[in-house]
Amino acid sequence: MSRARVTDAVTFYAERGDRRHAVREVRSRRPDKFRWRNAVGRLTQEAGHMRGLERLRVEEPVREVVVDLSDTLLRREVVIDARRHNVDLDRGEVLPFHRMGDLRTYAYLAGADIALVQRYVALPEDFDAPVDTAGVVLVARAMANQHKRRAQRIWLELPDPDSGATPMLHHRYLGERARRDAEHAKRWTALTNTLLGDPTPR
């Protein structure tokens, strides 16, 4: 399978239950943000359904590769991808550390509703307790994308402002709704950027 794309090779071995060769493919290929990242995602998805020693044999070799990546952005995103499948590849080496008090402050400053995060991620009550950074980032990104898509869908339904047509009353309501969704998307994106120490929008 050395000539096959890494995604095809990992899928081939994973479907046959040969996880040892699937892991070997990931470890032997040059990391990139497209196929290699997807291949790792397939492996972590598999690992998320395993328990005990079986899981350890997949998770630990993958973790070693990810932690040693020189591409810090790729390393970060692979760790977040893995968290989607309840696999923790980060033991404090990759994502920034935040306490619950920090998260409450970040959410307040960004204007994000932390109660929405608590629906999907277990958050500690103690202000000094660490939070699941990857889990919170996943929720914040999902909320930002949801609001962004909703705003874009509404804007596509509105008449072209350059057409000269007089806007109807319901168009004004829809426009205001789209602007609110766009603002919420910005707030959740700001929270994500703060948690990751990323000053640029994502």
Residue range 57-77, pLDDT digits in tens: 999 999 999 999 999 999 999
- Which two tokens mark 152? 């874009």
Please determine, for residue 107, whether its predicted confidence score (pLDDT) is greater than 90.
Answer: yes
- Which two tokens mark 177? 């709704």
pLDDT band at residue 158 using 50, 70 and 90 as cut-offs: confident
pLDDT confidence of residue 114 = 94
Q: Partners of 130 in the beta sheet? A: 99
Cα–Cα distance, 105 to 97 (Å, whole number): 14
The average pLDDT across 13-38 equals 92
- The 3-state DSSP composition of the chain as helix, strand, coil percent (nearest 5) reads 65, 0, 35
Radius of gyration over every alpha carbon of the chain, rounded to an integer in angstroms: 21
pLDDT band at residue 129 using 50, 70 and 90 as cut-offs: very high
pLDDT band at residue 202 using 50, 70 and 90 as cut-offs: very low
Query: What percentage of the chain reaches a pLDDT higher than 70?
Result: 90
Please determine, for residue 108, whether its predicted confidence score (pLDDT) is greater than 70.
Answer: yes
Task: Tell me which residue of 182, 190, 45 sits closest to 112, measured CA to CA.
Answer: 190
Cα–Cα distance, 19 to 11 (Å, whole number): 10
The average pLDDT across 25-33 equals 92
pLDDT confidence of residue 201 = 47
pLDDT confidence of residue 198 = 76
pTM for this structure? 0.86
Question: What average pLDDT is seen over the chain?
Answer: 90
Cα–Cα distance, 58 to 160 (Å, whole number): 53
Greatest Cα pair distance, the chain, in angstroms, is: 68
- Which two tokens mark 145? 């994308």
Q: Are 110 and 191 in contact (CB under 8 A)?
A: yes
